[in-house]
Amino acid sequence: MNDMRLIQRTVDMHETKIRASGVDVFYGDNHAIKDVSVYIEDKTVTAFIGPSGCGKSTFLRCLNRMNDTIPICRVTGKITLDDEDIYDPKVDPVQLRAKVGMVFQKPNPFPKSIYDNVAYGPRIHGLAGDKSELDEIVEKSLRRAALWGEVKDRLAEPGTGLSGGQQQRLCIARAVATAPEVLLMDEPCSALDPIATAQVEELIDELKQNYSVVIVTHSMQQAARVSQKTAFFHLGNLVEYGETGKIFTNPEDSRTESYITGRIG
Amino acid sequence: MTLTWLVLAVLALAAVGYVMGRSRAMASAGGEIRALHSLPRYYGWNVALTVLTPAFGLMALWLLIQPVFIDARISSQLPDAAVSETTTRSLVMSDVRRVAEGLGQIGASKPESDPDEEYLSDLKSRLGGAGVALASDIDPAVYLAAERYRAGTAIGASLMWVAVLAVAVGGFAVSYLLTNKDFRARNTVERGILLVLIAAASIAILTTLGIILSMLFETRHFFADHPWQDFFLGTVWSPDFRGDSQLAILPLLWGTLYISLIALLVAVPIGLFAAIYLSEYATPRVRALAKPAIEVLAGIPTIVYGLFALITIGPMLRDYFAQPLGLGDSSSSVMTAGLVMGIMLIPFVSSLSDDIINAVPQSLRDGSYGLGATQSETIRQVIIPAALPGIVGAILLAASRAIGETMIVVLGAGAAAAQFDRGIGELVNPFEAMTTVTVKIVSQLTGDTDFASPETLVAFALGLTLFVITLGLNVLALWIVRRYREQYE
Ligand SMILES: Nc1ncnc2c1ncn2[C@@H]1O[C@H](COP(=O)(O)OP(=O)(O)OP(=O)(O)O)[C@@H](O)[C@H]1O
Ligand SMILES: [Mg+2]
């Protein structure tokens, strides 16, 4: 319970980066997200918590229009990024996803070398002027994802040959290398040991200086450690949203309280 | 007919065995299924399989060995005088077999005394009436051999009846007596099934081996009569049945490779792009319509493609391309055959590639889209590399088909071998008529010839060379696939 002391930290005011209002998501007839409104601040870590199947991943995928790739998925409502409607027909989802990066719940490295995996985004978006610049981006991203030490001698080996936890960090490095403004992370530490978890949390803290980070997690401690805002989802509803400290010490809704105490206490 | 009865008899015995084995097991357990080691049906199957497997195994062996055995015996008894200078012993033996078969058909009984000329010429016309036409008069020695052949076959058949039935009954008795409630029928049946599966696998492998061996055998005959230098290194194909043929494979191989190359140049891009469209871009409704429509192409017989080449594509290419460009005026051309063959191969490439692309996990696509890649970037940089081993396999499969194709070539490109002495310009001119190895195999073997002259035996050498080439292609495919697997998994 030591982490609970973190509630005492000061909370700065930040601009709103993403604002969702009245969002509903349907998978066919399955109403997965019900009238969710939430704002996500810039230079802030926001945690999504909730029981399995409550729609955390689904909502996260709405924020960079990854749900477009699921034919049966239908999203209604309004989501803006920097006050621009991301579901507007004028918006190019490809450009949106370059700005709003994503680390998936299941590690999905490409069947390419470790180097090419990380260099994938920078190459596509032309972020590196030459080879040495690209090398630099790759090394920096792998370092930030706490993977550099383990793979620096085997960058040419396939990324799919890494262990599950290493693959997860590779995917984090891959997402970071593209330099997104918002990073959506779906359970990025689910397969990591405590040391790697601490390193990834350090990375999240560091990213917060410049970017906005949204993290889905099943670990209450992690949510309490890294986030400033927390959203609790239950059966597709956003039950409660607010300062992390307040949610964890003094939740307004009884469902929030029983979930948190059930898990931590 | 008698064989059918024998098979039916064994099957009936097996069926009886199933019922009896089952009920004996039940009886031994006092009607209590849980007291049995295995379910009752396993006891039934145990008896049935012990009846069937050895009996049918013996029958198959017998049917394979008996003709060889009788042939060898009769052949060794045949007096040398019966083999005149113009024939060989094996040709005479084939006459003997035909006469013996004919005697069986007309149901002639053996005459009292030795057959005289009159009887034999009468016999020849009777045989002719029954559809067994013989070129020359029947030699008395041949007739006697045929009679012996018939008798031997009849004795063999009766012996087989006895032996097979004995084995079946024996198997029945042994397994029936072994049946009691503690007998591990389930394990025995399991082993029996394993044996059947192994037998099936061996048949497939042995057949391949047999095909290779018979090709090798005939090829050796060919090279005994014809210098191998001419076959492999020569540049002229001009068979001549009066002798002095030049039988070089190079002109034919050139035709095969050239036509296959054009076919693949047509089929691979179109097939691959079609597959990418169908699996990545098409809506489910379009896909449901378009995929079967493309696959209909695979169901068209190649002879129909050949007709299409002959009456549509060939004249069209000649009128609009070859003649205006001054490249020739034959409607049979490498281009015609290659183009039509390419169309034939499109569904192979597209439908296999489509399955392979669909098998690439969605999570890889998501990963790429999530980094802000467009659809075509995702396809080029993630999906195609992931699917490449499979796609290479599909392409090589198509290549094997192209190399083995005959009908389209006959009708589309003609039957004239490439002529190396006319210069390189004519060789690479795609509007020149040309032909392939397979076409020549067919044309060397059709017609009334015995398999003795180099002109016919060359077909086997050609076939074997083709086999080696396609085998090499497959090995190459496996190698490429394995290399990529190592790199990417
Ligand atoms: N691709 C899909 N097709 C159909 N239904 C889906 C799909 N993805 C999710 N769902 C449904 O949407 C609901 C929410 O799923 P979601 O994956 O968002 O849950 P989650 O909160 O991320 O759960 P977890 O913590 O287990 O990852 C579930 O009922 C699920 O069955
Ligand atoms: Mg999830």
Return the CATH number at B470. 1.10.3720.10
In 3D space, the residue among B113, B70, B111, B109 whose CA is nearest the CA of residue B93 turns out to be B70
| Number of folded domains that form chain B | 2
Instruction: Answer whether residue A217 is part of any domain.
Output: yes
Q: How far apart are CA B412 and CA B337, in angstroms?
A: 5
Domain that holds residue B30: 3-183
Q: Which token pair is A110?
A: 């490409």
- pLDDT for A1 beyond 70: no
CA distance A116 to chain B (A): 10
For residue B424, give the H/E element and its range: helix B424-428
Give the pLDDT score at B77.
82
Give the pLDDT score at B485.
61
Instruction: Answer whether residue A77 is part of any domain.
Output: yes
Q: What's the distance, CA B304 to chain centroid?
A: 22
Selected residue of A96, A97, A171 to mutate for chain B interface (largest B Cβ count, 10 A): A97
Instruction: Answer whether residue A7 is part of any domain.
Output: no
Residue of A nearest to B380 (CA): A124
In 3D space, the residue among A205, A207, A172 whose CA is nearest the CA of residue A189 turns out to be A172
Considering only A5-19, A130-144, A170-184, B344-358, which range has the smallest mean pLDDT? A5-19
Q: How far apart are CA A79 and CA A87, in angstroms?
A: 7
Check if the beta carbon of residue B219 is closer than 8 Å to that of residue B460.
Answer: yes
C-alpha distances in Å from residue B58, one per residue of A225, B65, B166, B199, B345: 78, 10, 11, 13, 44
Q: Specify the amino acid at residue A168.
A: Q
Instruction: Answer whether residue A40 is part of any domain.
Output: yes
Q: What DSSP state is assigned to residue A208? A: T
Task: Please state the atom number of ligand 1 nearest to the C-alpha of residue A60.
Answer: 18
Q: Which residue has the higher pLDDT, B138 or A18?
A: A18
Buried b (16+ CB within 10 A) or exposed e, B20-38: bbbebbbebbeeeeeebbb
Ligand 1 proximal residues by C-beta, below 6 Å: A 27, 30, 32, 50, 52-58, 70, 105
On whether any CB of chain A is under 8 Å from the CB of B388, the answer is no
pLDDT 10s digit of each residue in chain B, 489 long? 578 999 999 999 999 999 999 999 999 888 888 888 888 899 999 999 999 989 999 999 999 899 889 988 888 888 877 777 667 777 788 888 888 888 877 776 666 666 777 777 777 788 777 777 776 777 788 888 888 888 888 899 899 999 999 999 999 999 999 988 888 889 989 998 898 899 899 999 999 899 999 999 989 989 988 888 889 998 888 888 777 788 899 999 999 999 999 999 999 999 999 999 999 999 889 999 998 998 888 899 999 999 999 999 999 999 998 888 888 888 889 999 999 999 999 998 998 899 889 988 999 999 999 999 999 999 999 999 888 888 888 898 899 889 989 899 999 988 888 888 888 888 888 888 899 999 999 888 886 566 678 888 899 999 999 999 988 888 888 787 777 665 544
Give the pLDDT score at B486.
52
Contact A124 B386 (CB under 8 A): no
Average pLDDT over residues A213-235: 93
- Strand A229-234 to A237-243 pairing: antiparallel
What are the two backbone dihedrals, phi and then psi, of residue B414, each rounded to the nearest 5 degrees? 85, -170
Cα Dmax for chain A: 56
What are the two backbone dihedrals, phi and then psi, of residue A108, each rounded to the nearest 5 degrees? -135, 65
B161/B284 same-domain check: no
Q: Give B361's contacts in chain A (Cβ within 8 Å).
A: 108
Q: Which token pair is A90?
A: 């004028």
Q: Which token pair is B288?
A: 């449901």
- Measured between its terminal Cα atoms, the distance across chain A in Å is 9
Q: How far apart are CA B76 and CA B95, in angstroms?
A: 15
Selected residue of A64, A113, A120 to mutate for chain B interface (largest B Cβ count, 10 A): A120
Nearest to A110 among B362, B364, B369 (CB): B364
What are the two backbone dihedrals, phi and then psi, of residue A37, each rounded to the nearest 5 degrees? -125, 130
What is the 3-class SS of B375-411, one letter each residue? Answer: HHHHHHHHHHHHHHHHHHHHHHHHHHHHHHCCHHHHH
Contact B366 A95 (CB under 8 A): no
Check if the beta carbon of residue B271 is closer than 8 Å to that of residue B345.
Answer: yes
Report the number of secondary-structure helices (H) and strands (E) in chain B: 20, 2
| Number of folded domains that form chain A | 1
On whether any CB of chain A is under 8 Å from the CB of B485, the answer is no
Cα of A186 vs centre of ligand 2, distance in Å, is: 7
Q: Give A104's contacts in chain B (Cβ within 8 Å).
A: 363, 366-367, 370
Instruction: Name the residue with tokens 């190396």.
Output: B420
Q: How far apart are CA B275 and CA B350, in angstroms?
A: 5
Q: How far apart are CA B100 and CA B332, in angstroms?
A: 48
Q: Specify the amino acid at residue B335.
A: M
Instruction: Answer whether residue B195 is part of any domain.
Output: no
Question: Between A and B, how many residue pairs show a Cβ–Cβ distance under 8 A?
Answer: 79
Q: Give A121's contacts in chain B (Cβ within 8 Å).
A: 371-373
Q: How far apart are CA A49 and CA A264, in angstroms?
A: 13
Residue A177, domain CATH: 3.40.50.300
Instruction: Answer whether residue A123 is part of any domain.
Output: no
Nearest to B364 among A108, A121, A158 (CB): A108
Q: Which token pair is B162?
A: 């006895």
Q: What is the ipTM of this complex?
A: 0.89
Check if the beta carbon of residue A215 is closer than 8 Å to that of residue A204.
Answer: yes
Q: What is the pLDDT of residues A28-37, one digit of tens each?
A: 999 999 999 9
B175/B262 same-domain check: no
On whether any CB of chain A is under 8 Å from the CB of B386, the answer is yes
In 3D space, the residue among B22, B46, B4, B359 whose CA is nearest the CA of residue B191 turns out to be B46
Task: Please state the atom number of ligand 1 nearest to the C-alpha of residue A61.
Answer: 18
- pLDDT for A66 beyond 90: yes
Q: How far apart are CA B392 and CA A172, in angstroms?
A: 32
Instruction: Name the residue with tokens 């604002």.
Output: A19
- Residue with the smallest CA separation from ligand 1 atom 22 is A57
- Strand B237-238 to A73-81 pairing: unpaired
Q: How far apart are CA B460 and CA A157, in angstroms?
A: 48
Sign of the Cα pseudo-torsion (A97, A103, A106, A109, in order): positive
Give the pLDDT score at A240.
93
Half-sphere exposure of A58 (CA within 13 A, CB side): 28
For residue B247, give the H/E element and its range: strand B246-247
Q: What DSSP state is assigned to residue B280? A: I
A237 bridge partner residues: A234
Cα of A54 vs centre of ligand 2, distance in Å, is: 8
B163/B38 same-domain check: yes
Instruction: Answer whether residue B342 is part of any domain.
Output: yes
Percent of chain A with pLDDT strictly greater than 90: 68
Q: What is the pLDDT of residues A102-137, one digit of tens each?
A: 999 889 999 889 999 999 999 999 988 899 999 999
Q: Give A125's contacts in chain B (Cβ within 8 Å).
A: 372
Q: Radius of gyration (Cα) for chain B, nearest Å?
A: 31
- Residue with the smallest CA separation from ligand 1 atom 30 is A53
Give the pLDDT score at A63.
94
> Order of strands across the sheet with A16-27?
A30-41, A16-27, A73-81, A84-85
Q: Which token pair is B415?
A: 């039957």
Q: Specify the amino acid at residue A215.
A: I
B336/B254 same-domain check: yes
Q: Which token pair is B151?
A: 């008798």
**Counting beta carbons within 10 angstroms of the beta carbon of residue B398, is it exposed (0 to 12), middle (13 to 18) or buried (19 or more)?**
buried
Contact A97 B386 (CB under 8 A): no
Residues with CB under 5 A from ligand 2 (ion): A 57, 105
Residues 277-296 of B with CB under 8 A from A: 284
Domain that holds residue A37: 12-109+164-260
Which residue stretches of B179-237 are H helix? 185-225, 228-233
- pLDDT for A264 beyond 50: no
Q: Which token pair is A195?
A: 């040391």
